[in-house]
Amino acid sequence: MTSASAAAAPDRSAEPAASSMPDPGLLQGLQADLMAMPPVAALGLRVLDADDQGLRLSAPLSLNVNDKGCAFGGSLVSLMTLAGWGLVNLRLAQAGVQAEVYVAESQVRYRAPVFADLTASARLAEGEDWSRFLSTLLRRGRARIGVVSGVAADAGTLGCECQSQYAAILKPA
């Protein structure tokens, strides 16, 4: 997440009503960082939007379709994993903290086939706290945080969901 991490802190003075939105530059940096990875470019990933609650990514069904005409499970997991990874990186960038972020474990449930373009949302898991995560990371050099992500099925119901733990390791100053 080089460019998003290196981007300036968000300037929220112009639009007080949109104070929950990260700076557009951070999202553009995230999009560039993600698309620089060949398997992410192959997904056709797009960063949709983000706010204080979470981050949304999308990918076209055409590039991620399986033999049954719906979304391939691996693409669903990829997009959900990236949504969580992107969310943790965004929060670190907003806090001005330089760290590498790794997914450590995930529990995935495929609930219904997804026959539309894929939209993945990620948010903090219940009981987690960004401030505690950041303070642990700064104090110990590493920290873990739980993120929940999901992809809606075409009827608006949940197509699949993913509970993941991400590990962050502080970069040497």
Residue 100 binds its own copies (CB under 8 A): yes
- Residue of 24, 39, 96, 141 interacting with its own copies (CB under 8 A): 39
Assess 1 for contact with its own copies (CB under 8 A).
Answer: yes
Residue whose pair of structure tokens reads 């990514």 in the numeric block: 57
12-20, 47-55, 105-113, 143-151 -> range binding its own copies (CB under 8 A): 105-113
In the region spanning residues 111 to 130, those forming contacts with its own copies, defined by CB under 8 A, are 113
Q: Which of 67, 131, 156, 173 binds its own copies (CB under 8 A)?
A: 67
Give residues with Cβ within 8 angstroms of 100, minimum separation 6.
168, 169, 171
Place of tokens 């939209």: 119
From 19, 105, 141, 142, residue interacting with its own copies (rule: CB under 8 A): 105
Identify each DSSP E strand in the chain by its residue range: 46-50, 54-59, 99-110, 118-124, 142-152, 158-170
Confirm or reject binding of residue 35 to its own copies (CB under 8 A): no
With beta carbons less than 8 A apart as the criterion, state whether 115 and 154 touch. yes
Q: Is 147 in the site for its own copies (CB under 8 A)?
A: no
Residue 87 is a binding residue for its own copies (CB under 8 A): no
Place of tokens 């009981």: 127
* Between 80 and 137, CB nearer to its own copies: 80
Report, in Å, the least distance between residue 22 CB and its own copies.
19
Q: Let me know: does 122 contact 83? Beta carbons within 8 Å.
A: yes
Closest CB 7 distance from its own copies, rounded Å: 16
Binding of its own copies by 32 (CB under 8 A)? no
Tell me how far CA of residue 37 lies from CA of 30, 77, 150, 173, in angstroms. 12, 16, 22, 25
